[in-house]
Amino acid sequence: MTRPYAGQFVTPGRYAGKVAVVTGSAQGIGQKVAERIGAEGGAVVLVDRADLVHEVAQGIQEAAQRSGSGGSATSVNADLETFAGAQLAVDAALAAHGRVDVLVNNVGGTIWARPYEEYDEDKIEKEIRRSLFPTLWACRAVLPAMLQQGSGTIVNVSSVATRGMHRVPYAAAKGGVNALTQSLAMEVGGRGIRVVATAPGGTEAPPRKVKRGPEAESSTEKAWYQVIVDQTVESSFLKRYGTLDEQAAPIVFLGSDEASFLTGSILPVAGGDLG
CATH of the domain at 65: 3.40.50.720
Residue 248 lies in a domain: yes
Residue 14 lies in a domain: no
Residue 177 lies in a domain: yes
Residue 13 lies in a domain: no
Residue 75 lies in a domain: yes
Q: What is the pLDDT of residue 208?
A: 77
Residue 275 lies in a domain: no
SS in 3 state form for the chain?
Answer: CCCCCCCCCCCCCCCCCCEEEEECCCCHHHHHHHHHHHHCCCEEEEEECCCHHHHHHHHHHHHHHHHCCCCEEEEEECCCCCHHHHHHHHHHHHHHHCCCCEEEECCCCCCCCCCHHHCCHHHHHHHHHHHCHHHHHHHHHHHHHHHHHCCEEEEEECCHHHCCCCCHHHHHHHHHHHHHHHHHHHHHHHHCEEEEEEEECCECCCCCCCCCCCCCCCHHHHHHHHHHHHHHHHHCCCCCCECHHHHHHHHHHHHCHHHCCCCCCEEEECCCCCC
Structural domains of the chain, count? 1
Choosing from 5, 15, 119, 170, the catalytic residue is: 170
| CA nearest to 206, candidates 76, 52, 51, 102 | 52
170 is catalytic: yes
pLDDT tens by residue, the chain, 275 residues: 234 455 667 999 999 999 999 999 999 999 999 999 999 999 999 999 999 999 999 999 999 999 999 999 999 999 999 999 999 999 999 999 999 999 999 999 999 999 999 999 999 999 999 999 999 999 999 999 999 999 999 999 999 999 999 999 999 999 999 999 999 999 999 999 999 999 999 999 988 777 767 777 799 999 999 999 999 999 999 999 999 999 999 999 999 999 999 999 999 999 999 98
| CA nearest to 206, candidates 31, 23, 10, 5 | 31
Residue 257 lies in a domain: yes
The C-alpha atoms of residue 154 and residue 148 are separated, in whole angstroms, by 15
Domain span at residue 166 reads: 19-269
Half-sphere exposure at residue 121, Cβ-oriented, CA atoms within 13 angstroms: 0
188 with 143: CB under 8 angstroms?
Answer: yes
Q: How far apart are the first and last CA of the chain?
A: 38
The C-alpha atoms of residue 233 and residue 227 are separated, in whole angstroms, by 10
Residue 11 lies in a domain: no
pTM over 0.75? The answer is: yes
